[in-house]
Structure 1
Amino acid sequence: MEATDNKKASFPALLLIIGLGIASLFVWFFAEIAEDLLENELVRFDDAIISMFEAVETSTLDSIYIIITELGSVWFLMTLSVLVILLLWFKAKDKWGILFFITAVGGSGLLTWILKHTYERGRPSINEEIDAIGFSFPSGHSMGSLIFYGFIAYFILRSSQKKIIKYISMVVLSILIILIGTSRIYLGAHYPSDVIAGYVAGTIWLILCLLALEWVQWQSNSQVRPVYTLRNFLVSTFKSVKQKLGK
């Protein structure tokens, strides 16, 4: 029975370990960016990327990017979030999905505010029409869009949709997230390093929320006691590795 439980716990355990490992890597990456920011080592990088965007500026591209940047705005994502919650409540009956979706989206706003007021970096330019006010680092649009559309991607992957639909959805959502981030650079609302930091911070928070959701769903749907079996799985794995190294 114990061996069976360990097998059942193996995948969630590996998922948890890999997820935390990736999150830790991104925490280190964000810390490096923040350190470079405080030491003013990002100026050359930011200036080079901004110059590239300035070289391709056109009135048509201005209009396109103004529309794209709104797809990552607070009001737009909040409106879509309400629709997603209603869909999850009435159609999917996914109470845990709703809880952690709200935690992810709502928490991203709080986390963005904390980080912005921690580093207090000024913006390249101030423009209320494109929501370019307040502090700049990290980019709230980049972080918020990655978390929101990333969570939507998760729901699609977990759904019963055909593989081709899942594949197209992943590609479209990934491109959209990238376009929203680049729109902030093109429109002068953020430095490139703000956008990258927003993506990194968003990835950390999204991974943690998804891991917590997966863990709770596994605990709710499985007869296996997760904490007990996870401990046994880690112990047995450690012993197995130790035996192999000892041969």
Structure 2
Amino acid sequence: MNDNKKTKAKNTLLPAFLVAAGMGISIAFLYLFAQLAEEMLESEVESFDDRIIGFFNQFSNNVVDVIMFWITESGSIWFLSFFSLVTLSFLWTKKKDKWSIIFFIITIGGGGLLTKILKISFGRERPSINEAIDAVGYSFPSGHSMGSFLFYGFLGYLILRSNLKKPIKWTAFYLCGLMTILIGTSRIYLGAHYPSDVIAGYLAGGFWLIICLLALEYVKWRSASQKKPIRAFKEFIGRQLDHKL
């Protein structure tokens, strides 16, 4: 009987801890984004941007140009749109996971809308204009960086939640993270964005992704559980008080 109580307490405490941790991280992302945006508006990131751009310029050559071009394409609107449809088709036909489908659309679609709002709000000009690498419009935050963080981040979440073997699962998860970093790096190298634009894209994307995943996990938990979250929390607190008494 005591073992059952401990198991129930653990099952209640772990989700609460994960939610608290997720909210803490998302708030940290939001705070850092606000700080970076303020410094950008006050032109306090120029020396930082110049140093990073100067570092990447050391490696500029035709071969790296081609590699970076193809990497940046994997974060473009057409690329992410196509593979978003592939992901949705997989979730619909293979997994029958309606909640993941809904929140995937909210994550990607809402992220795209948020990117446009932020770009218009800050109105920062790009370091260079080049339609060939989708470098048009305002610069802050980087749409490629934010979009790739959301897409590959959600894909990484789906991979971690899958039944794949651990070596395959973690390899695929780290590849998703690597792609996100490489896409942001390519935007700096190709002169499409300032480094601060890319960091801002990651921070804004991280904030929105965590919020969406927390909401998805909550909805899935509610769908699988007949017990209301507040009631479960009260029962958990009651068990802890009884144990101490």
In the superposition, the TM-score normalised over structure 2's length comes to: 0.92
Distance 1:22 1:234, change over 3 A: farther
Deviation at 1:15, TM superposition (A): 1.1
* Paired letter, 1:86: S
Report deviation, 1:236. Answer: 7.3
**Would the alpha carbon gap of residues 215 and 55 (structure 1) be closer, same or farther in structure 2, given more than 3 Å must change?**
same
User: How many Å separate the matches in 1 of 2:128 and 2:89?
Assistant: 37
Conserved 8 A contact 1:109-1:144: yes
Equivalence for 1:208? 211
Q: 2:132 is matched with which residue? A: 129
Q: Which residue of 2 aligns with 1:176?
A: 179
Question: What is the match of residue 40 of structure 1?
Answer: 43
1:19 aligns with 2:9: no
Q: 2:60 is matched with which residue?
A: 57
Q: 2:156 aligns with which of 153, 156, 164?
A: 153
**In 1, Cα distance between the equivalents of 2:38 and 2:225?**
43
C-alpha distance in 1, partners of 2:32/2:237? 27
Partner of 2:92: 89
Work out which of the residue numbers 139, 143, 149 in structure 1 matches 2:142.
139
Q: Deviations over 1:193-222 (max 9, x none)?
A: 000000011000110010000000000011
> Relative contact order (alpha carbons < 8 A, sep ≥ 6): 1 or 2 greater?
1
How far apart, CA to CA, are the structure 2 residues paired with 1:35 and 1:129? 31
CA contact 1:6–1:230 (8 Å) conserved in 2: no
- More moved, 162-171 vs 218-227: 218-227
Partner of residue 80 from structure 1, selected from 79, 83, 94: 83
- CA distance in 2 between counterparts of 1:70 and 1:227 reads 46
SS at match of 2:192: coil
In percent, how many aligned pairs have the same letter?
54
1:107 equivalent in alignment to 2:110: yes
- Cα separation, 2, equivalents of 1:55 and 1:122: 24
Q: Distance in 2 between matches of 1:8 and 1:171?
A: 28
Give, in angstroms, the shift of residue 167 of structure 1. Answer: 1.4
1:117 pairs with one of 115, 120, 125: 120
Moved over 6 A (4+): 234-237
Q: Distance in 2 between matches of 1:103 and 1:6?
A: 32
Q: Shift of the alpha carbon at 1:8? A: 3.5
Call closer, same or farther: CA 1:200–1:234 in 2, change over 3 Å.
Answer: farther
Q: Which amino acid aligns with 2:134?
A: D
Alignment partner of 2:206: what SS? helix
Aligned residue number for residue 167 of structure 1: 170
| Deviations 1:133-169, CA, capped at 9 Å, x for gaps | 0000000000000110010010010000000001111
Helix, strand or coil for the counterpart of 1:188? coil
Matched, 1:70 2:62: no
CA distance in 1, matches of 2:218, 2:114: 22
Letter of the 2:99 counterpart:
W
**Matched residue SS, 2:50:** helix
Looking at structure 1, the residues matched to 238 and 46 of structure 2 have their Cα atoms a distance apart, in angstroms, of 48
**TM-score between both structures, scaled by the size of structure 1:** 0.92
